């Protein structure tokens, strides 16, 4: 049986000035796997995502990942303020399947026909999750994807993401160690 690797990092070295954040760091994540990356603030978790996405170049090492979807920690910075949410989703994804996710994400048509500032942080974060899922990624990078959500919606959202593991691999950055341990058997701690 062929193992479908969604992310393969080999011997990654990266840092700023004289401070190395990663030194010969390796990680492999296969389709169907959800892993959590935890660590103190400022230790390099978001930098790792930037490296995976190709927004930063490593000093050395190799990162292989394709068809990446991203859920940002701050949904307000991931949407243009003067365009309706639905139009911004249509810019990057086909929207035919969106209706099946609306109820699961506690969203409605009115939310999608709104401007970003007309929604709460939690509603906008769920729109960000909707957009990422509609892009049908092989690898979904989630930077604190549920931090803006209340506990009940957080749980339902994580259950939805877990239910989609047959289609993708998911890597979650979180400060919530309880959430990390609940959602996955594999927690990667980075840091000092």
Read off the pTM: 0.89
Alpha-carbon distance of 72 to 24, in angstroms, equals 26
Q: State how far the alpha carbon of 47 is from the alpha carbons of 74, 100, 189, 190, in Å.
A: 15, 33, 14, 12
List, for residues 87-139, the tens digit of each pLDDT value.
Answer: 998 888 777 777 888 888 889 999 999 999 999 988 999 999 999 999 899 99
> For every residue of 122-183, which 3-state class applies, written as one string?
HHHHHHHHHHHHHCCCCEEEEECCCCCCCHHHHHHHHHHHHHCCCCCEEEEECCCHHHHHHH
**For position 2, what pLDDT does the model report?**
58
144, pLDDT greater than 70: yes
As a whole number, the mean pLDDT across the chain is 88
Alpha-carbon distance of 5 to 2, in angstroms, equals 9
192, pLDDT greater than 70: no
> Which helix (H) or strand (E) segment is 110 a member of?
helix 109-112
**For position 18, what pLDDT does the model report?**
77
CATH number of 5-189: 3.40.50.300
């Amino acid at each position: 049986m062929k193992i479908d690797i969604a992310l393969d990092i080999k011997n990654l070295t990266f840092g700023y000035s004289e401070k190395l954040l990663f030194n010969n760091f390796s990680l492999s994540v296969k389709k169907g796997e959800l892993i959590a990356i935890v660590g103190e603030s400022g230790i390099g978790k978001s930098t790792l995502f930037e490296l995976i996405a190709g927004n930063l170049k490593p000093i050395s090492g190799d990162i292989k990942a394709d068809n990446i979807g991203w859920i940002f920690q701050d949904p307000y910075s991931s949407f243009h303020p003067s365009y309706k949410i639905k139009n911004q989703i249509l810019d990057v994804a086909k929207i035919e399947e969106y209706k099946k996710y609306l109820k699961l994400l506690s969203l409605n048509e009115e939310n999608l026909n709104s401007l970003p500032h007309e929604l709460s942080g939690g509603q906008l974060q769920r729109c960000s999750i909707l957009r990422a899922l509609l892009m049908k990624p092989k690898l979904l990078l989630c930077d604190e994807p549920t931090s803006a959500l209340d506990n009940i919606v957080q749980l339902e959202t994580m259950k939805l993401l877990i239910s989609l593991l047959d289609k993708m691999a998911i890597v979650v950055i979180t400060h919530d160690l309880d959430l990390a341990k609940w959602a996955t058997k594999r927690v990667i701690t980075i840091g000092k």
